[in-house]
A and B are shown apart, each in its own frame.
Chain A
Amino acid sequence: MISLRNVSKWFGNFQVLNNCSTEVAKGEVVVVCGPSGSGKSTLIKCVNGLEPFQKGEVLVDGISVGAARTDLPKLRSRVGMVFQHFELFPHMSVLANLTLAQVKVLGRTPQSAQSKGLKLLERVGLTAHKDKFPGQLSGGQQQRVAIARALCMDPIAMLFDEPTSALDPEMINEVLDVMVELAQEGMTMMVVTHEMGFANKVAHRVIFMDEGKIVEDAPKDEFFGTPRSERAQLFLSKILHH
């Protein structure tokens, strides 16, 4: 479904991604972790072309993201993305946030977009808030709306860029619950997160990155059992024993 082949990226002289290759199969849940500045957010943003890259190839459902002739907006409309800071549109109601791209990009009628939006709002448990503005919701609620917004487009895969890092501790679980449910339904997911509990519960594979390189790319049990690289062992010991 998603494959990255020898992707490299530079910001000026600084290399943020160094020859990264991996695959995410249909229905697979892959967690990407690593210390901050290791390039994991950049990597995931290369998948839907939000970050351009200079070398290598990214294929989503067989379509090359970096190719000049690729219709990026169309490709992005098929891949959902959830951001660390939610990025709901603050000047629109919750429901309008959910319907905007359905109408403008997919060409659905406002009525069908609304019923789809309401269905997904119900799924994340926020139907009562449909007419509120994002600023009136808590962080956890906003992130759930953001997930619903992405799901409205009937995506073939979902990308999560540290979806719980900006949340108060007591709100993390309400978001993770939605993500776990999604994973269990067989959604293809690539998740940048430090939530190792989530990784342990639903991930099929864990990718560990450091200094722009994919240091470890292993099945979940193997990763948590005996990580091969020293760097990953150190990282795990630091975030698991606090």
Chain B
Amino acid sequence: MFGGFDFDVIQRSFAYLFREGMVFTVTLTLLAMSGGIVLGTLLAMMRLSSHAFVSAPAGAYVNLMRSVPLVLVIFWFYFLVPWLGGWVIGAREPIKVGAFWSCVITFTLFEAAYYCEIMRAGIQSISRGQVAAGYAIGLNYWQTMGHVVLPQAFRNMTPVLLTQTVILFQDTSLVYVLSVTDFLGAAAKVANRDHRLVEMYLFAALVYFTVSFAASYAVRRLQSRIAVIR
């Protein structure tokens, strides 16, 4: 059935696919995950504030990001970030950000909206009594959050945060709109160069599936191991 296909192309381009493509994809995923979780946690704390002038902007940001297609955000940010950065530092010319950092910033900002909703649920899963206990022994808001609420919220939400990261890993393939050489980008370039579209896209799908499936399986295993004893 596969008689007319040339799977040798995979072997020939293996180093390029993984050393360049996959390294880009994984680096982007990890950086965006770290930044997204930090920013998302701050947004979640803002959303849960009792002051409307703190919670409303965070709510608006999250709703905006969740209502816009990711491809558009990637595209827009690629052109906007250099201008914005230049404007912020007061430079006359748009600053040179480069496709990679533009992607990192975009994904961090975009995924933060999703991580925010996860962390919000996580923070709300901690009983008010825990917060009261933190305050009662003299901790202030930041200490109570940092030592009592967030460590428990993270632990409760780790499986969901990691599952979102698996989605992020797949979403990074959308950077193809910037002609960046991520894993899918590398596969596409080889496919076009060697006219091996079916082989390369099949292989790319298989790799994404394998990584995502293995990660999901690992998350399930982890879930049962890290639960807090209550």
Contact = CB atoms under 8 A, between A and B. Distances in A.
A45 B135 CA distance: 11
A153 B137 contact: yes
B57 interface: no
Interface string A59-81: 00000000000001110111011
B130 interface: yes
B147 A90 contact: no
A104 B138 CA distance: 9
A25 interface: no
Contacts, number: 73
Interface string A32-63: 00000000000001001010000000000000
Interface in B118-172: 127, 129-130, 132-140, 143, 147-148, 151-152, 155
Interface residues of B, number: 21
B152 A83 contact: no
Given A104-B147, A135-B229, A87 B133 contact: yes
A73 B229 contact: no
Contacts of B19: none
Contact of A87 (B132, B228, B229): B132
A85 B228 contact: no
A224 interface: no
A89 B148 contact: yes
B133 A89 contact: yes
Contacts of B136: 48, 50, 76, 80-81, 83, 150
A87 B155 CA distance: 17
B230 interface: yes
A87 B138 contact: no
A89 B138 CA distance: 14
6 contacts: A48-B136, A73-B138, A73-B139, A83-B132, A87-B132, A100-B137
Given A83-B132, A91-B151, 12 more contacts: A48-B136, A72-B135, A76-B137, A81-B136, A83-B133, A87-B130, A89-B148, A91-B155, A100-B147, A101-B137, A135-B230, A153-B137
Interface of A: 45, 48, 50, 72-74, 76-78, 80-81, 83, 85, 87-91, 100-101, 104-106, 133, 135-136, 149-150, 153
Interface of B: 127, 129-130, 132-140, 143, 147-148, 151-152, 155, 228-230
